[in-house]
Amino acid sequence: MKRRPLIAGNWKMHKTVPETLAYIEAFKPLVAGVEDRDIMLAPPFTALDAAQRALEGTNISLGAQNCHWESEGAFTGEISPKMLADIGVTYVIIGHSERRHIFGETNEMIRRKIEAALKFSLSPILCIGETLAEREAGRTFEVLEQQLKEGLEGFSTADLKELVIAYEPVWAIGTGKTATPEQAEEAHAFCRKLLKDMFGEEFANKIRILYGGSVKPENIVGLMARPDIDGALVGGASLKPDVFARIVCFGRTE
């Protein structure tokens, strides 16, 4: 089954508001004619409102890099999905490996964030992936299964129709190392089979599974040629508009 690709840029802790606006002005014309795939940018929280205004009427969606699981309350420094929806955000990245490994987020916390995002009609991008030690110990599938089962526990297929999965091997994020297309496809195929066992074949065939981990213009075509890879969650290479546009436009004739 052919799924519509999604190419998403995660800027992490980069770019001020003026830098964000300059990027968007440079990026918009580079991808203006792209209609056969979805495009998403995830600036830092401080730039989201300005980015939303700059992206209005374009083919580029706005994403956030994280959210809290409550809609409001005494959570100093946190941002709720209610706040994100209020300013026009449509996607939210949840469970990125940096949130898991630097900030100690658990599968249960991530499940609660997905639930909160869905409540406000945000499309969650659930990030999963193994560390180098886990891969070398032969535990890749075990880790992915635990992250998916615990992260999606209690949801129905109706709840998750806007869910996106992003497989990001931790050892490939920001390291310059990329999983080979074969390694990435193996993990994606495993996740799709697991989703089939959990939610049924129809759901598994529709869900988009992105690859993340040192994606570049030089490797995007090989990755996207694989049957179970439906797009990319791009970090460092999304910080330059011309480079990210080349990734977004993979496979298109000039």
Reported as a single tens digit per residue, the pLDDT across 79-98 is 999 999 999 999 999 999 99
Q: Select which of 96, 98, 130, 188 is catalytic.
A: 96
What's residue 86's pLDDT? 98
What's residue 33's pLDDT? 92
Domains in the chain (CATH in brackets) are 6-248 (3.20.20.70)
What's residue 7's pLDDT? 98
CB atoms within 10 A of CB 129: 27
10 is known to lie in a ligand binding site? yes
Asked if residue 188 lies in contact with residue 195, where contact means CB atoms within 8 angstroms, the answer is no
What's residue 231's pLDDT? 98
Cβ neighbours of residue 10 under 8 Å, at least 6 residues apart?
42, 63, 65, 93, 96, 212, 233, 234, 235, 238
As a whole number, the mean pLDDT across the chain is 96
The reported pTM is 0.96
Residue 167: pLDDT over 90: yes
Q: Select which of 98, 134, 168, 185 is catalytic.
A: 168
What's residue 207's pLDDT? 98
Residue 254: pLDDT over 60: no
Reported as a single tens digit per residue, the pLDDT across 225-245 is 999 999 999 999 999 999 999
Which residue did the predictor score with more confidence, 179 or 226? 226
Mean pLDDT, residues 245-254 taken together: 86
Residue 253: band (very low, low, confident or very high) from pLDDT cuts 50, 70, 90: low
69 is known to lie in a ligand binding site? no
Question: Which DSSP category does 162 fall into?
Answer: T
66 is known to lie in a ligand binding site? no
Residue 172: band (very low, low, confident or very high) from pLDDT cuts 50, 70, 90: confident
What's residue 143's pLDDT? 98
Confirm whether 168 is a catalytic residue.
yes
